Amino acid sequence: MSNKNKTLGEFIIENQNDFQYSSGELSRIINSIRLAAKVVNYKVNKAGLVDIVGAVGEQNIQGEDQQKLDVYANEVFIQTLINREIVCGIASEENDDFITIEGSDKSNSNKYVVLMDPLDGSSNIDVNVSVGTIFSVYRRITPLGTPVTLADFLQPGVNQVAAGYVIYGTSTMLVYTTGHGVNGFTLNPAIGTFYLSHPNMRFPENGSIYSVNEGNYRQFPQGVKDYIKYCQMEEEDRPYTSRYIGSLVSDIHRNMIKGGIYLYPTSSKSPKGKLRLLYECNPLAFVVEQAGGKASDGKNRIMELQPTELHQRIPFFCGSKNMVDTLEKFML
């Protein structure tokens, strides 16, 4: 079948046999994420109307519109996955601890855990800037039939079986990988269907965009300072262009299409870095690598790091392969 007008639902069915342990569960997880993304998208798009709707008395009786959107998104993703009884555990950037799901028959018989950042960059909502959802799927390592443990969540990124993001932007997209390349789907909001719009996405090997919060410049490690100066130098292909939205998914998505590097180094404000290994860095690293890009903590491959805690933060450098290679040389 050609890619023309192919929907995400059709794509999932067609590619189900790509999964190493194909039993349909992973497809059902992606389907649940697709559904939750549509629900959250609807709410995110109405965000600017909340005050107006409230003023004319259309706010619902529970005061639902007052709920913070990141809390709402967290509930939608968790409830959708729980209701469908397809995962045995969920860890979210919004929750201190992981959630154990035993299923209505109390059998703990599901194989997968999902880790997610349900609404990243949510402070951007107030100013009408794009936000995103990031997700990551692993097979549990503890025996089926027992409750999940922390060990099921503290797996290195190389163990991911699927990962992706939703970007709620000028259009809403779902981009994901199951280890067979990266595909992007754009939501047609009129009929609520995601269509394959970006088949086999490739991260350009080189780029001319660097994305970093330069307000923290004085606190960065010397290697990062030197690299930023390198980006700004007048050479054949430089200075690079600086673009920083401050919304991780959007910055990575743009760089994946145009070519560029994203940097969130350590600083005295964030001595370990700001971004979370499990909810942000590993899933984005999997997507970026599958598209031919690279993700590093400055020295090591992100996906090979052994996590030590659920909310662990790390420095994150991610983007066009040759740009990240150069950055790493500055970090030696």
45 assigned ligand-binding residue: no
Q: How far apart are CA 324 and CA 316, in angstroms?
A: 10
Q: Can you list the alpha helix ranges (DSSP code H) found in 47-108?
A: 50-55, 69-83
Choose among Mg ion, ligand AHM, none what residue 271 binds, the Cβ cut-off being 5 to 8 Å by kind: none
d(C-alpha 279, C-alpha 260), whole Å:
22
Residue 271 lies near ligand AHM (rule: CB under 6 A): no
Q: Is residue 120 close enough to count as binding ligand AHM by CB under 6 A? A: yes
Instruction: Give the shortest CB-330-to-Mg ion separation in angstroms.
Output: 26
The maximal CA–CA distance of the chain, rounded, in angstroms, is 65
Phi then psi for 92, rounded to 5 degrees?
-130, 145
- Select from 116-124, 183-191, 229-237, 320-328 the region that touches ligand AHM (CB under 6 A): 116-124
Query: Under a CB-based contact definition with an 8 Å cutoff, are residues 186 and 204 in contact?
Result: no
Q: 262 by DSSP, 3-state: which?
A: strand
Smallest distance from the beta carbon of 139 to Mg ion, in angstroms? 24
Distance CA 199, CA 182 (A): 7
Q: Which of 121, 169, 293, 319 binds ligand AHM (CB under 6 A)?
A: 121
- Using CB under 6 A as the binding rule, whether residue 94 contacts ligand AHM is answered as no
107 is in an annotated binding site: no
Is residue 178 at the binding interface for ligand AHM, with CB under 6 A as the rule?
A: no
Q: What is the β-pairing status of strands 99-100 and 87-92?
A: antiparallel
C-alpha–C-alpha distance, residues 146 and 152, integer Å: 12
User: Quick one: what does residue 122 bind among Mg ion, ligand AHM, none, with the CB cut-off 5 to 8 Å set by partner type?
Assistant: ligand AHM
> What's 59's DSSP letter?
S
Quick note: the x/- pattern for Mg ion over 103-142, rule CB under 5 A, is: --------------x--x----------------------
Cβ proximity to ligand AHM: between 253 and 274 the closer is 274
Give binding residues for substrate as ranges.
120-123, 213, 244, 262-264, 274
**Which residues of the shown chain bind ligand AHM in the complex (CB under 6 A)?**
93, 117, 120-122, 213, 246-248, 251, 274
